[in-house]
């Protein structure tokens, strides 16, 4: 499905990013992996880099070759480190990397963002999300958040709310649309990865356990990697600006409860 495609994947040292890189290689892709630390086993070519700063994004973009077929924005943190690094990595850095790499992606290529069911509240918080997404470039994240009176407990859900809103906007931005680059997202529910324990600390056991109970089990990286790579493939050539819940039916269950059907 991906034979001969050049796919860039962030967050390859563990979890969803690691499994996505492995599966992409098995499906015939030329993988370029990015992470702040080197994986135990390197799949394809590896670039050490950090999307948590403007300089880090610039260095990664400069190191990438032209002729990329897809960028998979998988790297992210749980929110445990605080709201500033969480927003910097999960949204502003991710977004800036996408813009920086756009010119190196082939016409008809793809960007896939790993969002989360935690971003479900973007509609309820639309005004706030619109304001923060409208901030251009890689801002002084601390200053932006202080101006809005936002604290650490908002970090992870807020980062994913912004990502889901931008995901739809980006699909129609000229930098991508004029070259036929599709921008889509995959939203997992709770997934058994090394940072699930941190999510429990940030979101609380009752929230995480409730989400798992709704669908019978937590997801695995093996559940999430295939939809991510489907969106990289030509089979998804008419899918753009979409968010695919990959959560065992969690969003459907929440919709039924919230909307009362």
Distance CA 245, CA 222 (A): 15
Q: Is the dihedral of CA 133, 71, 202, 92 positive or negative?
A: negative
Helix (H, G, I), strand (E, B) or coil at 183: strand
Q: How far is CA 247 from the centre of its chain?
A: 15
Distance CA 60, CA 98 (A): 11
Helix (H, G, I), strand (E, B) or coil at 244: strand
Q: In what order do the strands lie in the sheet with 68-73?
A: 45-48, 30-35, 6-10, 68-73, 105-114, 182-188, 243-246
Among residues 92, 99, 120, 156, which one is catalytic?
Answer: 156
Distance CA 191, CA 150 (A): 27
The number of CA neighbours under 13 Å toward the Cβ of 145 is 19
Q: Does the active-site annotation cover 120?
A: no
CB 153 within 8 A of CB 210: no
Distance CA 101, CA 96 (A): 9
Residues with catalytic annotation?
156
């Amino acid at each position: 499905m991906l034979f001969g495609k050049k796919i860039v994947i962030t967050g390859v040292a563990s979890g969803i990013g690691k499994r996505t890189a492995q599966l992409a290689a098995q499906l015939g892709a030329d993988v370029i992996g990015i992470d702040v630390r080197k994986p135990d086993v390197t799949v394809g070519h590896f670039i050490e880099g950090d999307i948590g700063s403007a300089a880090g994004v610039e260095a990664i973009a400069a190191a990438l070759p032209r002729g990329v077929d897809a960028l998979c924005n998988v790297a992210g943190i749980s929110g445990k480190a605080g709201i500033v690094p969480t927003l910097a990595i999960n949204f502003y850095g991710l977004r800036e990397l996408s813009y920086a790499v756009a010119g190196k992606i082939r016409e008809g290529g793809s960007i896939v963002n790993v969002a989360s069911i935690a971003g479900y509240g973007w509609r309820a918080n639309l005004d706030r999300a619109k304001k923060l997404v409208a901030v251009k470039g890689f801002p002084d994240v601390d200053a932006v958040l202080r101006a809005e009176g936002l604290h650490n407990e908002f970090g992870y859900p807020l980062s994913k709310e912004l990502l889901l809103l931008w995901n739809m906007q980006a699909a129609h931005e000229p930098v991508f649309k004029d070259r036929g680059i599709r921008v889509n997202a995959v939203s997992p529910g709770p997934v058994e990865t090394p940072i699930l324990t941190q999510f429990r600390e940030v979101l609380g056991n009752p929230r995480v356990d409730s989400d798992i109970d709704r669908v019978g089990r937590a997801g695995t990286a093996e559940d999430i990697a295939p939809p991510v790579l489907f969106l990289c493939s030509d089979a998804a050539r008419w899918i753009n600006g979409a968010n695919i819940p990959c959560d065992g039916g969690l969003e459907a269950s929440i919709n039924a409860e919230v909307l009362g059907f």
